[in-house]
Structure 1
């Protein structure tokens, strides 16, 4: 869906209500291979036209039942055809009730483990059942081709085989719980551009390929994307939706539009089945933005109100102090309505027939029957989440995702002498960077989020660990002596009932034993006395309420929960800063230049419909506080034997770290020769300090249990075996999409068109073709042990595929996992006009070996991997001649090879 994509267009979608009913857990249900088609036809025969429309057009769920999910389908109650709820990820579930935060998709990809992916899918399915959701809007199986793509962090990396296999495993896991999965976004949604051109060979081999795996896995539905593809919009593209998806791949499920991606009622003739969000509540900010095309009745009321950017301004948050260059909203970038004709008019003039509507409704009913929803097997009441079972999967995934990028002198795992004199530096050392960025994902359970520092102290109770936050994201309350109103101490409080009073400080929290009643609506006004000129960081912190702050009459910031828009109308603790406060509040952090003296201050709170106690606090960090914290961190690093610096990204990194984190590492490494870096990032970043540090450990955004996983990996209780799901370049311009010599590939494109002119040479394939040395190769990752490969054999399979067998031995002293990867070389005689990568990933596995243990591993290669898409015959073709297969531990560490004929 929209989420971080709305960095450009400034939108998000959702609504909400919360009901919690403790009942016995429901049994798992696995969808059948096929539905009862006769039953489906009987139901359709009984339906009116409008009832059929209620199966293909989103609606507004009754407020008393609404769970704040992304979408709702009304169903046909008269015929006992149930409604459907659609909820965002990935990963996890986003409704008005906080769900557990799972390891970010890129971290799941880094496990190179189909078992981990399937287990994560099962967690998604269990969460959906607990929260009353029928359709999970995941997995996200687009390709990470452009590091600057705002949604790249949601992908499984740059390779179509890895993406397809991992996505299919998640689908199997989620649907094993009786919940529909919806793979997204089909297709070409691999850039911030809305106008994409991809040649047919590349389209089939790279960008459609993961969706074909999803169809093989039995995915219930597919979401089409916002962008145009080779001219038409993806949601109205009969080539991709009908010719490729239906005819060539054989997809039988339903196609849902991304929210607001329909621009003509005629899209239903071109392969689209369902419009989302469909009908929009009249009081939603999106009522002025999202047109409902699949409407057969005249809407009640007058024209929708004009779009108000202020209504949307808080949804994505603003720039935090470490990211001052964040762009504002660009509502004009999003494709707007083009065809004014309604469904009613199209039915009257015959350009759309009821038979077409019936066919779309049939596909939805087909999946409902297949999943047992027509027999009452869905669940719309909210029941307790299976916290412990889910937590075990989340922690195991975070451990398996850990990628050790550098380990000079075997500085990791930490030794006894390190633990006797250790310093941890950075806010994500004290708190786990569970989700990185709030978007279409589980917000997490703050009460479960144990930071690496606390986890290390628990797992190594005799360790002597100093903590230096450096960048204090929670701050301290503004002192009472600096707040006044009308020449008197304190801020003037005005409540919605007219009552007025004075508060000496703004700190109404459970931590301070002073939380306010639920649904409080209060304004505080007064003046803030600033002791000296400088850049002050003000932190508006809230939960159970919405908050806004003004300084000198100008709005400085607001919390992200907005009625009628973002999932649940309630404030999530992780919504606006990536990290909540240390006591679990949402944190709107802004930098502002202030001069010495008095400045007008105003703070307002209003109901977020959660019914929770309203907590509000105004904290800050002065320039002097920040300077002192940084000096304390360097002093602690200088006096410790070993320093571990934790670095983070929150938004798309575009190859850089926020704030002064690079400088921090440089300065710590200058005073401590045993400096280790732990990364909580989603993509590659520039690391100018890399030669100066001993070790680098990538932990991604690891989910609620990530603090434990990080601590165990640092201590050696977990042996890192994750592998990079993308190529880590030395510089941003090394990537094909950001190569300045090819502006047509960029999101900006040329003349408004973005052309994927690199063709099939995505990711590591480009680096191999152009002989560019990456900083770290695709599939790379170190270990605390080492492995030996021998006895490679390759055998052709009767179906045209192949099997590769290999013996792998753990030649080290500790148990560990290895990730063998098979790559197929290009044919020696390449057919004219066909593009081939020098080599491509065709199979992978992950296995655990005890010290000195060896195992024979067999990897299966699908027939399709030996073929190419012929644009002349519009078919898959097997090139003549023998092929070489290589196996190793990364795309640049290939140890053995074999030839197959």
Structure 2
């Protein structure tokens, strides 16, 4: 229940409450917001849910004390659609703008133009529940970014005139009542693509994460079949390899498991988008094999593959490419971490059919998946392509045939089993089998604190299948020698940031003071040019105690090297990178004792280490 909901019997159920302790809130969940404010973002959205029992758009502590006073945010706060639940309360808490837009038929509140702001805000001012000073403040916050971004300039682009049509049609179809009075058929969207398709193809390929590549089966461009003959017979399997059959845009009513047929290019809901076209992997593979007069045989029905009916394939392919997928979208959780549509049965059947070390699996998914088949020795390579956009097929083929090196690294941990994650599931099933109607039970307690993902695996000494930060390329790298650590601020004796320092966007400016410079040496030990992502982890003197992570990622850089070449990598740690949030003092504090700094290729491959003291 992401927002308040009226049940069929009239019961109003409040949104789920995310209950997070103050240290976890600051050291984990506010961290990227501080980065965004520091970078100059001009607007921030408050969400649907409650935070520690208070609706996010009514949370004065978060919107004013933390966001304004602590992080120094100077832009405006806007609500998500239908995320406002009051007028005076949200206005006085720090909401500057209710999400604008036309009200759908039958909806009378929670949008601009007739919602909790507009006339309702005027009435609140008239009776003294909201001051004119607060309204003036709202206006300043809204107009400051307007002038900062020069939106008053005559040459500033206007809003794409197709937006009203797209919104109405996407939500309600071509019969939408919101289309009344507008030209029949709508108008084309503004074309700003330029060479975007080349960039999408390039980034989609380079962002892929190569998880396994036994015997260097990839890239396929320089491989031969048995007997040294050219690799001319390609077998392609799975329902994520061919064109979508229900349109290039996933509609809002897409089922929880997603569309059965076709490649997934982008997630659903607010994470979605409209493809002008889609290049499927099957289309791109055919094009690639046409260059060598090769043969492409395929079965795209997972039902057929799960039934182990592969008699349409003859002869047996030189290599078998299996495409699996799972759908992710706004408004609901994924039902399982395993890839969808009988994925494990499909892989096992194809592997058995194709034989010794011939199978490559490509996953088409938004995030974490369990892979029960990953350690099968005949699954020779695994490529996590994720959602690669409209050029999906070309991007994947560029990686498989070696035109582009996969240089993505896992931004999450892949477990051996789903139980390894250990995250509690919030069960909101009522006694009658339906949704729980008691709002007080809609609680998501973040009892894991900061120990999420790799931090959880570190804390419990759990061996992952593929660790956070992991990823292979088409060459190999090594971080060599000792780290060089230089104190940039001399001998620091103050564990707290300078209280007299100004509060600028990003917070107390002293939190961004550079404290340590870390330098390491990296070598390309392989046979071809390539790139890797070097990662810097920090272990605090308090690590492993009172919910403090064993280590925390505090920097990463991509480096490109020729075969046999070495280079240096340098990263800087700021005061906030080596501080913890002191709940009692409500301040960031550097702990006394030794810090361990580690540089390497992933969270579990850290070959260069150094200990240092910061205080004293």
TM-score interval, normalised by the smaller of the two chains: 0.7 to 0.9
Q: 1:434 Cα deviation (Å)? A: 4.7
Deviation string for 1:290-336 (max 9, x for gaps)?
A: 69544453xxxxxxxxxxxxxxxxxxxxxxxxxxxxxxxxxxxxxxx
Alpha-carbon separation, structure 1, partners of 2:564 and 2:46: 49
CA distance in 2: counterparts of 1:875 and 1:262, whole angstroms: 31
Q: Distance in 2 between matches of 1:864 and 1:204?
A: 11
Question: Alpha-carbon deviation of 1:802?
Answer: 1.6
Quote the offset at 1:276 in angstroms: 1.2
Question: For residues 638 and 436 of structure 1, do their structure 2 counterparts lie closer, same or farther at Cα, with a shift above 3 Å needed?
Answer: farther
Give the equivalent residue in structure 2 for 1:406. Answer: 212
- 1:889 matches 2:601: yes
Q: TM (normalized to structure 2)?
A: 0.77
Aligned to 1:426: 238
The answer as to whether partners of 1:468 and 1:632 remain within 8 angstroms in 2 is no
Counterpart of 2:44 (choices 216, 222, 229) is 222
Report the 3-state secondary structure (helix = DSSP H, G, I; strand = E; otherwise coil) of the residue aligned with 1:879.
coil
Structure-1 residue corresponding to 2:196: 390
Distance 1:650 1:634, change over 3 A: farther
The structural deviation recorded for 1:284 is 2.9
1:734 Cα deviation after fit:
2.2
**Among residues 52, 58, 61, which one is paired with 1:236 in the alignment?**
58
1:678 aligns with 2:362: yes
Provide the rounded CA distance (Å) in 2 between the counterparts of 1:443 and 1:234. 26
What is the CA distance between 1:455 and its match in structure 2? 2.2
Question: Is the alpha carbon distance of 1:638 and 1:752 closer, same or farther for their aligned partners in structure 2, counting shifts above 3 Å?
Answer: farther
User: 2:92 maps to what in 1?
Assistant: 269
| Offset from partner CA, 1:66-124 (integer Å, 9 cap, x none) | xxxxxxxxxxxxxxxxxxxxxxxxxxxxxxxxxxxxxxxxxxxxxxxxxxxxxxxxxxx
- Contact 1:430 1:454 (C-alpha < 8 Å) held by counterparts: yes
User: Which secondary structure state, in structure 2, belongs to the residue aligned with residue 658 of structure 1?
Assistant: coil
Candidates 324, 329, 345, aligned match of 1:663 = 345
Q: Name the CA shift for 1:248/1:355 in 2 (closer, same or farther; >3 Å).
A: same
In 1, the alpha carbon distance for the partners of 2:402 and 2:118 equals 63
- For structure 2, which runs of at least 5 residues remain unmatched after alignment? 8-13, 161-188, 226-230, 244-261, 329-333, 430-434, 490-512
1:883 Cα offset (Å)? 0.8
Check whether the contact 2:60–2:94 (CA below 8 A) recurs between aligned residues. Answer: yes
Residue of structure 2 equivalent to 1:810: 524
Given the superposition, is the C-alpha separation of residues 751 and 637 from structure 1 closer, same or farther in structure 2, using an over 3 Å criterion? farther
Task: Say whether residues 1:462 and 2:174 are aligned partners.
Answer: no
Distance, in Å, in 2 between the alignment partners of 1:847 and 1:671 is 40
* Contact 2:413–2:453 (Cα < 8 Å) also in 1: yes
SS of aligned partner of 1:690? coil
Residues 637 and 671, structure 1, Cα contact 8 Å, conserved in 2: no
The Cα shift of 1:797 comes to: 2.2
User: Does structure 2 conserve the Cα–Cα contact (< 8 Å) formed by 1:220 and 1:367?
Assistant: yes
Aligned counterparts of 1:629 and 1:897: Cα–Cα separation in 2: 48
**CA distance change for structure 1 residues 463 and 437 in 2, over 3 Å: closer, same or farther?**
farther
Q: Does 1:755 align with 2:445?
A: yes
SS at match of 1:405: strand
Q: How many residues are treated as equivalent by the alignment?
A: 510
DSSP 3-state at the match of 2:375: helix
SS of the residue aligned with 1:738?
Answer: coil
CA shift for structure 1 position 627: 4.6
Contact 2:99 2:111 in 1 (8 A): no
For residue 767 of structure 1, give the secondary structure of its aligned residue in structure 2.
Answer: helix
The question of 1:785 aligning with 2:475 is answered yes
Paired position in structure 1 for 2:388: 702
1:229-308 to structure 2, matched below 5 A, reads 229-265=51-87, 266-277=89-100, 280-281=102-103, 284=105, 286-287=107-108, 292-297=114-119
Structure 1 residues 394 and 269 mapped into 2: Cα distance closer, same or farther (>3 Å)? same
Q: Which stretch of structure 1 is more off in the superposition, 382-391 or 283-292? A: 283-292
User: What is the CA–CA distance in structure 2 between the aligned matches of 1:636 and 1:629, rounded to whole Å?
Assistant: 15
For the residue of structure 2 that corresponds to 1:793, the secondary structure is: strand
Output the TM-score relative to the length of structure 1: 0.53
Q: Which residue number corresponds to residue 273 of structure 2?
A: 443
Q: Closer, same or farther in 2 for the Cα pair 1:739/1:267, shift >3 Å?
A: closer
Structure 1, residues 714-753: CA drift from partner, whole Å, max 9, x if none?
Answer: 1122222211101111222322423799x9xxx9999322
| C-alpha separation in 2, matches of 1:816 and 1:738 | 40
SS at match of 2:141: helix
Aligned partner of 2:326 in structure 1 is 649
Q: 1:401: how far off?
A: 1.1
Instruction: After superposition, give the CA deviation of every residue in 1:465-507 in whole Å (9 maximum; x if it has no partner).
Output: 32323328xxxxxxxxxxxxxxxxxxxxxxxxxxxxxxxxxxx
Secondary structure of the structure 2 residue equivalent to 1:694? strand
Give secondary structure in 1 for the equivalent of 2:536: strand
The equivalences for 1:80-95 within 5 A come to: none
Matched, 1:794 2:492: no
2:201–2:391 contact (8 Å) kept in structure 1? yes
Quickly say closer, same or farther: Cα 1:808–1:634, change in 2 above 3 A. farther
8 Å contact kept, 1:435–1:443? no
Instruction: Provide closer, same or farther for how the CA distance between residues 707 and 829 of structure 1 changes in structure 2, counting only shifts above 3 A.
Output: closer
Distance 1:659 1:417, change over 3 A: same
Shift of 1:387: 3.0
Distance 2:554 2:159 in 1: 43
Deviates more, 1:807-816 or 1:237-246: 807-816
Is residue 2:299 matched to residue 1:453?
no
Q: Distance in 2 between matches of 1:750 and 1:774?
A: 36
Q: Deviations over 1:592-615 (max 9, x none)?
A: xxxxxxxxxxxxxxxxxxxxxxxx
Contact preservation (8 Å) 2:210, 2:382: yes
Counterparts in 2 of 1:286 and 1:795: CA distance versus 1, 3 Å: farther
1:817 shift after superposition? 1.0
Contact 1:653/1:683 (CA < 8 Å) preserved in 2?
Answer: no
Contact 1:274 1:360 in 2 (8 A): yes
Equivalent residue of 1:373, what SS? coil
Contact 2:241 2:300 in 1 (8 A): no
Measured in 1, the distance between the counterparts of 2:81 and 2:609 equals 47
CA distance in 1, matches of 2:143, 2:94: 16
SS, match of residue 486 in structure 2: strand
Give the superposition deviation at 1:807. Answer: 1.5
SS at the partner of 2:607?
Answer: strand
Cα distance, 1:862 vs structure 2? 2.3
**Deviation of residue 886 (structure 1)?**
0.4
Map 1:25-104 → 2, pairs under 5 A: none
Cα deviations across residues 568-597 of structure 1 (Å, max 9, x unaligned)?
Answer: xxxxxxxxxxxxxxxxxxxxxxxxxxxxxx
**Structure 1, unaligned runs of 5 or more:** 11-191, 298-341, 473-625
Cα distance in structure 1, aligned partners of 2:560 and 2:136: 51
CA distance in 1 between partners of 2:424 and 2:306 (Å): 37
Q: Give the conservation status (yes or no) of the 8 Å contact 1:823–1:841.
A: yes
2-structure distance, mates of 1:891, 1:750: 39
Deviations 1:106-149 (A, max 9, x none): xxxxxxxxxxxxxxxxxxxxxxxxxxxxxxxxxxxxxxxxxxxx
Q: Is 1:737 matched up with 2:549?
A: no
Query: 1:737 aligns to what SS in structure 2?
Result: coil
Paired residues of 1:834 and 1:870 also in contact (CA < 8 A): no
Determine the C-alpha separation between the residues in 2 that align with 1:252 and 1:796: 33
For the residues of structure 2 that align with 1:707 and 1:861, how far apart are their CA atoms?
40
CA-atom RMSD in angstroms: 3.0
CA deviations on 1:359-402 (whole Å, 9 max, x unpaired) are 01110011101011123343226575343421222122112211
Change beyond 3 A, Cα 1:888–1:895 = same
